[in-house]
Every structure is written in C-alpha cells, then in structure tokens.
C-alpha cells in the first residue's frame, strides 16, 4: 500500500469514500465530503493524503489550519479522516493518521487538534484539557497533540469550510 498526497484524479474517489465511511456513523451530519471540497476551494486543505492499493483509494485524511485563542503557533486540525468500510479495522487508519501527523510535524506545525473519540486517538498521544474548547462539544472529545510541548488553551476556530457542519 502507498500513502501519497492527493492528485486531481483522486477527488471523486475521496468524496465517495468519505460519504461511505461516515454514512453509518451516528455522530455524522453527512457534511464531511463537502467540507473537504470546500477546504480545497478555500485553499485551506493544508495536507490531503490518500492510501492506495493498486490505484484504488482506500483511505483519506485532511489537515487544515486552525487558530486557538490564547495559543500561539501554527496549529492544524485533523480531519475528516476515513477508511473505506470494507477495509476498516486492519490498521490502515492508524498508519495513515500516523503518517499525516509526522508530515505536519516536519512542516513545522506546533501541534494538531481534532474532535473525535478519545479511545481511538489516545494511541497517537492525543489528550483533552479543560481549557481547550470547540463550541459546545464536550471537552473529552476536543483533543490535542502538541509537537513542541505547548499546551493549547482557548477556543478552536476551524476554517469557514467547517461552518456547514452541525458542530
């Protein structure tokens, strides 16, 4: 399997894969594929990686710039991330997320934030903090991974693309 940045030829497959992966998720409002398209249009798709097996796109991850009140540095937001339903639970998501985080660190990001399941993301070192918030989302789902040891504090602001989501 290969992990590489998206090309224009991948865009349709990324949309289909994202829709299929999030469709059964109770926490999804169905906006994730559109968010990725909008991030790309806005110029806010900082990093978009795909996992391929024989030219088939099996997984995708997006990173975009975020700001955090009372916190300096170039922080990024992780997500949406998805693995095609029939390829889940084989380690593909873990490998892709690890590769994405490593690339963002090499690019000089201060760290990364996300809204997601603590059980899954703690394997990468993500944690929550009472001082880090995103709207009314319960704090344990608002997670960060610091690359330089700084603990982020304040409200997270994602790019406009995310305003279509219900969060």
| Exposure string over 119-144, b if 16+ CB within 10 A, otherwise e | eebeebebebeeebbbeeeeeebbbb
Among 116, 125, 150, 167, binds ligand COA (CB under 6 A): 116
Size of the site for ligand COA (CB under 6 A): 17
Residue 117 or 151 having the CB closest to ligand COA:
117
Among 1, 117, 137, 164, binds ligand COA (CB under 6 A): 117
94 is a contact residue toward ligand COA (CB under 6 A)? yes
- 62-91 residues in contact with ligand COA (CB under 6 A) are 81-83, 88-91
Q: Rounded CA gap, 132 and 143, in Å?
A: 8
Q: Interface with ligand COA by CB under 6 A: which range of 4-12, 18-26, 62-70, 142-150? A: 18-26
């Amino acid at each position: 399997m290969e992990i590489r940045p998206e090309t224009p030829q991948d865009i349709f497959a990324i949309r289909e894969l994202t829709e299929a992966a999030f469709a059964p998720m109770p926490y999804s409002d169905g906006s994730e594929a559109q968010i990725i398209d909008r991030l790309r249009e806005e110029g806010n798709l900082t990093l978009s990686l795909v996992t391929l097996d024989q030219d088939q796109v099996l997984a995708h991850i997006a990173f975009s710039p975020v700001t955090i009140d009372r916190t300096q540095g170039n922080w990024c937001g992780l997500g949406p991330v998805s693995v095609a339903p029939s390829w889940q639970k084989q380690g593909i998501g873990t490998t892709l997320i690890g590769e994405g985080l490593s690339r963002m660190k090499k690019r000089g990001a201060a760290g990364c934030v996300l809204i997601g399941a603590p059980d899954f993301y703690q394997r990468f070192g993500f944690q929550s903090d009472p001082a880090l918030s995103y709207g009314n989302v319960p704090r344990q789902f608002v997670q960060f991974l610091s690359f330089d040891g700084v603990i982020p504090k304040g409200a997270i602001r994602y790019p406009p693309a995310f305003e279509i989501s219900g969060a």
